[in-house]
Amino acid sequence: MSLRALRRAVALGFILIFCILRYWKLRLHGPLSLERRAFWLHVSANMALERLGIQCHVEGAPPAHGLLVSNHLGYLDIVILSAAVPCFFVAKEEIDRWPFFGWAARSAGTIFLDRASHASASSVVRQIAERLQFPVPVLLFPEGTSTDGHHVLRFHTRLFEPAVAAGAPVMAAAIRYETSGGVQERELCWFGDDAFLPHLWRMMRAPGFIARIRFGEPRIYPDRQSAASRTHAEVVALRKVSSPAPPLIP
* Phi, psi values for residue 136, rounded to 5°: -145, 130
What is the pLDDT tens value at each position of the chain, 250 positions in all?
Answer: 578 788 888 888 888 898 899 999 998 888 889 999 999 999 999 999 988 888 899 999 999 999 999 999 999 999 999 999 999 999 999 888 887 888 899 999 999 999 888 899 999 999 999 999 999 999 999 999 999 999 999 999 999 999 999 999 999 999 999 887 667 888 899 998 899 888 888 888 887 789 999 999 999 999 999 999 999 999 999 998 654 444 443 3
Write out pLDDT tens, residues 68-89: 999 999 999 999 999 999 999 9
* Domains contained in the chain, CATH given: 3-240 (3.40.1130)
Q: Which residues of 104-130 are buried (b: 16+ CB within 10 A; e: fewer)?
A: bbebbbbbbbeeeeeeeeeebbebbbe
With 0-12 / 13-18 / 19 or more C-beta atoms within 10 angstroms meaning exposed / middle / buried, residue 9 is: middle
Q: How far is the C-alpha of 229 from the C-alpha of 156, rounded, in Å?
A: 9
What are the DSSP E strand ranges found in the chain? 55-59, 67-70, 88-92, 111-113, 138-140, 170-178, 210-215
pTM: 0.89
For residue 26, give Cα distances in angstroms to 23, 36, 137.
Answer: 5, 9, 22
DSSP bridge partners of 68: 139, 171
